């Protein structure tokens, strides 16, 4: 843009200051446990005398960053779409800084709830709570007969093989090497994505569903929104994983799995188990009790440790607190699904595409509509195929809108009539 209006320039400068202040606030990296804690715990569990992991969190001071973020908030105009975005984003980074400064204390849970919510909060639309929805998916997964799985769904894929498969898929998509897939022996999670790199845990076993889930969830949402955010001339923060965008990001990524047929009931179960585990920890369960919960739910010991570790990031393993980020997945999925249906009904599917222009919330993309129209914000350079094909997306959403009008509780007892 050759000339920028004063109000746009003012908030662009504030956004740049916010990015500089938030640069060291690597929330997930700083709350996560070191991989070295896993083996001692599993050995103690194998001996029949599991011992709580001993985690020492660093003492951090982000007072300088917090002061700068407070100045950004004070100078942002909350009635301007950019000012509202910058102010709210700076506020979420400030809360993240407070969380990181209180690692290992009860205040981590307090700040985590401010950022990500709790399992007992209702889903969008005043529906059931997130925990009730999680129990629904767990119950359905437990009822299904695993013998229904096709042989291809039961073949394990090594991390090395998956790395080659994903790298080939991504190189084909970009027609060049834009995102690199690497193996990381220090990674506790099975996978993690940045703008230009996707890490897989070395030695982990994956399924065919995992391959498609990682491609749609990690690469074509988390990585693409970061890459597209880097193309923004006014708001460089749209490339960052701001805490306030987490629910929309994870909801959009899980929705991508769903609409491409890449999600399976076991994946829904894994997400739901984590929500139940967060609730258990908040009610006082310690790391060992949560670890056993995952074991009893069918996960192996390595995966159970990784799952339990997610719940206790930043807090004491003794129980009574939790890192509540995992509660956003179902809430985000319901929110994004509802938003897409609303956009179809309102003739605004272009807003759904614009969600990929950077990391933003559902409310942000609506406030940004005139800025996209004016060219202040750039459209997404890259889009996953499922959203670039508007007719196919509209067809799926149109059926969803209609199907939601059918009340299953009013269907005659037994199977619905097949007299078509």
Query: What proportion of the chain, given as a percentage, has pLDDT over 70?
Result: 91
Asked whether residue 106 carries a pLDDT value surpassing 80, the answer given is: yes
pLDDT at 126: 75
Q: CA 101 → CA 26, 58, 92, 98, 282, distances in Å?
A: 12, 9, 14, 5, 20
β partners of residue 182:
199
For 18, phi and psi rounded to 5 degrees?
-65, -45
Closest alpha carbon to 96 in 243, 254, 251: 243
pLDDT at 190: 83
For 150, phi and psi rounded to 5 degrees?
-70, 155
Q: How confident is the model at residue 3 (pLDDT cuts 50, 70, 90)?
A: confident
Chain Cα centroid distance, residue 64: 28
Asked whether residue 365 carries a pLDDT value surpassing 60, the answer given is: yes
pLDDT, tens digit (0-9, with 9 covering 90-100), for 119-145: 999 988 777 999 999 999 999 888 875
Q: Is 205 helix (H, G, I), strand (E, B) or coil?
A: strand
Question: Where do the domains of the chain lie?
Answer: 26-61+102-147+238-254+261-404
Closest alpha carbon to 255 in 340, 323, 350: 340
Cα–Cα distance measured from residue 412 to residue 184, given in angstroms and rounded to the nearest whole number? 53
pLDDT, tens digit (0-9, with 9 covering 90-100), for 215-231: 999 999 999 999 999 99
Among 87-101, 186-200, 345-359, where is mean pLDDT lowest?
A: 186-200
Among 58-72, 273-287, 332-346, where is mean pLDDT lowest?
A: 332-346
| Torsional class of 319: left (φ above 0), alpha (ψ -120 to 50), beta (otherwise) | left
Mean predicted lDDT score pLDDT of the chain: 90
pLDDT at 281: 98
Cα–Cα distance measured from residue 304 to residue 297, given in angstroms and rounded to the nearest whole number? 9
pLDDT, tens digit (0-9, with 9 covering 90-100), for 403-418: 666 554 554 555 454 4
pLDDT at 390: 67
What is the chain's Cα-based Rg? 22
Q: How confident is the model at residue 400 (pLDDT cuts 50, 70, 90)?
A: low
Mean pLDDT of 37-57: 95
pLDDT at 418: 42
Q: Token pair for residue 265?
A: 């009931």
pLDDT at 127: 76
3-state secondary structure 25-51: CCHHHHHCCCHHHHHHHHHHHHCCCCC
């Amino acid at each position: 843009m050759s000339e920028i209006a004063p109000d746009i320039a003012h908030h662009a400068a504030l956004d740049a200051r916010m990015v500089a202040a938030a640069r060291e606030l690597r929330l997930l990296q700083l709350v996560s446990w070191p991989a070295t804690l896993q083996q001692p715990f599993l050995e103690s569990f194998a001996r029949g005398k599991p011992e709580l992991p001993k985690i020492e969190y660093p003492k951090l001071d982000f007072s300088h960053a917090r002061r700068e973020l407070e100045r950004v908030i004070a100078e942002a105009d909350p009635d301007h779409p950019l000012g509202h975005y910058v102010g709210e984003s700076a506020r979420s980074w400030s809360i993240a800084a407070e969380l990181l400064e209180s690692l290992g204390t009860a205040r981590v849970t307090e700040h985590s709830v401010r950022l990500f919510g709790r399992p007992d909060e209702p889903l969008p639309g005043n529906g059931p709570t997130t925990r009730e929805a999680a129990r629904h998916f767990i119950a359905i997964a437990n009822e299904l007969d695993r013998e229904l799985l096709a042989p291809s769904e039961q073949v394990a894929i090594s991390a090395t093989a998956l790395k080659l498969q994903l790298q080939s898929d991504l190189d084909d998509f970009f027609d060049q090497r834009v995102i690199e897939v690497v193996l990381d022996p220090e990674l506790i999670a099975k996978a993690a994505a940045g703008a230009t790199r996707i890490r897989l845990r070395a030695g982990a076993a994956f399924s065919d569903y995992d391959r498609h889930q990682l491609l749609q969830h990690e690469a074509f949402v988390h990585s693409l929104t970061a890459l597209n955010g880097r193309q923004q001339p006014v708001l460089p923060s749209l490339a960052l994983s701001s805490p306030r965008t987490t629910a929309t990001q994870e909801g959009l990524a899980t929705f991508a799995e769903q609409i491409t047929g890449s999600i399976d009931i076991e994946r829904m179960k894994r997400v739901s188990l984590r929500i139940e585990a967060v609730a258990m920890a908040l009610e006082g369960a310690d790391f060992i009790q949560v670890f056993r919960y995952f074991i009893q739910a069918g996960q192996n010991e390595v995966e159970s440790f990784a799952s339990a570790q997610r719940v206790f990031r930043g807090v004491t393993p003794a129980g009574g607190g939790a890192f509540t980020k995992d509660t956003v997945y179902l809430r985000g999925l319901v929110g994004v699904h509802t938003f897409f249906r609303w956009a179809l009904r309102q003739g605004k599917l272009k807003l759904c595409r614009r969600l990929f222009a950077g990391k933003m919330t559902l409310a942000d993309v609506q406030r940004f509509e005139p800025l996209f129209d004016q060219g202040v914000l750039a459209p997404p350079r890259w889009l996953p195929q499922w959203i670039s094909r508007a007719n196919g997306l509209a067809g799926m959403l149109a059926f969803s809108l209609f199907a939601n009008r059918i009340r299953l509780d009013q269907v005659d007892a037994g199977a619905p009539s097949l007299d078509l």
